[in-house]
Chain A
Amino acid sequence: EVQLVESGGGLVKPGGSLRLSCAASGFTFSSYSMNWVRQAPGKGLEWVSSISSSSSYIYYADSVKGRFTISRDNAKNSLYLQMNSLRAEDTAVYYCARSSAEWELLHPFDYWGQGTLVTVSS
């Protein structure tokens, strides 16, 4: 069974940093591209970042470019999102999600974690 479990969310002050993790199991993690998607309270879904299976290709939304860094450790079956210079507008539930096709980066997201809440407030 495919499982994605996020962790690392919490309350942080504006300008602060946080590192999110996503532990994957039930599939060959190293074969799939992975993604972060966020959802502000009461709002819709916003794609944040994607990383290819070997980390060769990385993409970011303009809203987080230069502040967030996506990475992965295939040996640990884990995905990460380092978030720096956090702003109030970064407050959201952050989901990790798997791209649905092996070796394909730009593909629908077929499995999602339960999300971790990040709150940026003084």
Chain B
Amino acid sequence: EIVMTQSPATLSVSPGERATLSCRASQSVSSNLAWYQQKPGQAPRLLIYGASTRATGIPARFSGSGSGTEFTLTISSLQSEDFAVYYCQQYNNWPPPFGQGTKVEIK
């Protein structure tokens, strides 16, 4: 079973700054990696799939990169609505686990 590890657990960033979130898989998942955003009291929202493809309606300030076991989600210039928890998920093998999440908070 593949384990997804996200870092850091919490990221404090000022509005307008760049945020870089990491996700590591315990074995290669090729490019079968998705990122989700979840705000308090809301369902998760798909941001990125295929490691780097933005989902429909996702702003260009969100970008994903990586392949194999190391992945990165970058938010180029944080807006107030971007403060949330972000999860990665691999979908290369069963089961498709999520990482434990990175909370992006206002500095």
A59 with B87: CB separation less than 8 A = no
- Residue numbers in A under 8 Å from B100 (CB-CB): 44
* B72 contacts A by Cβ under 8 Å: no
CA distance A109 to B46 in the complex (A): 7
CA distance A42 to B87 in the complex (A): 14
CB distance from A23 to the nearest CB of B (A): 15
CB distance from A77 to the nearest CB of B (A): 19
- Residue numbers in A under 8 Å from B16 (CB-CB): none
B43 with A95: CB separation less than 8 A = yes
A108 with B91: CB separation less than 8 A = yes
B46 with A106: CB separation less than 8 A = no
* A107 contacts B by Cβ under 8 Å: yes
A108 with B45: CB separation less than 8 A = no
B46 with A110: CB separation less than 8 A = yes
* B44 contacts A by Cβ under 8 Å: yes
* A89 contacts B by Cβ under 8 Å: no
- Residue numbers in A under 8 Å from B87 (CB-CB): 44-45
A108 with B98: CB separation less than 8 A = no
B96 with A47: CB separation less than 8 A = yes
* B73 contacts A by Cβ under 8 Å: no
* A114 contacts B by Cβ under 8 Å: yes
Contact with B along A38-63 (1 / 0, CB 8 A): 00000011110010000000010110
Interface residue ranges, B against A (CB under 8 Å) = 32, 34, 36, 38, 43-46, 49, 55-56, 85, 87, 89, 91-101
